[in-house]
Amino acid sequence: MSFWVEKKLNQLTTVQWESLCDGCGKCCLNKLIDDETEDLYYTDAACHLLDDDTCACRHYPERFKYVPACTAITVDNIAELTWLPDSCAYKRLHDGRELPSWHPLLTGSKEAMHAAGISVKGKTINEKRVKDVFDHIVLWPLKDLD
Ligand code: SF4
Ligand code: SF4
């Protein structure tokens, strides 16, 4: 059996935890929360460190130096991070779901994820080029398959 099936999230090694990330990049999109309803809206305005082609952070190891507000996802805060997309591997496993069929740990690459339209590849704008973030609300980050 695979480690993410055999073990609980709090039993994973750091390497196993990091490998669960599918690298979709959706957690790096700017999000808006309605003050009154607390409804969450995704935008296509991405953190300026996000590479829209690879969907990876350009300075992941030292990202907090450039973006202090970046959130490290851990087993201790996963329950509180309600803004993570439903497709996020951490959220899925925390919610008792399985990894999706397109996940890189199952397919060996990000290609199936990109092909399924799950990642941010080619869909974002650098937040520094955005004039009004309210003009950038999008629905595609809500996509979640199997
Ligand atoms: S949304 Fe989850 S799986 Fe996707 S890049 Fe962010 S942490 Fe990784
Ligand atoms: S600093 Fe890197 S990991 Fe953090 S939101 Fe920006 S691109 Fe994503």
DSSP, residue by residue, the chain: --HHHHS-GGG--HHHHHHH-----GGGEEEEE-TTT--EEEEEEE-TTB-TTT-SBTTSTTHHHH-TT-----TTTGGG-TTS-TT-HHHHHHTT-PPPTT-HHHHSSSHHHHHTT-S-TT--EEGGG-S-GGGGEESGGG----
Tens-place pLDDT, residues 77-128:
999 999 999 999 999 999 999 999 999 999 999 999 999 999 999 999 999 9
Tens-place pLDDT, residues 132-145:
999 999 999 999 98
Atom of ligand 1 nearest to the CA of 23: 5
* pLDDT value at residue 83: 97
| Mean pLDDT rounded to a whole number for the chain | 97
pLDDT exceeds cutoff 90 at 1: no
Nearest listed ligand to the Cα of residue 22: 1
Residue 45 CB–ligand 2 contact under 6 Å:
no
Nearest listed ligand to the Cα of residue 47: 2
Nearest listed ligand to the Cα of residue 18: 1
Residue 29 CB–ligand 2 contact under 6 Å:
no
CA of residue 119 to ligand 1 center, whole Å: 9
Residue 29 CB–ligand 1 contact under 6 Å:
no
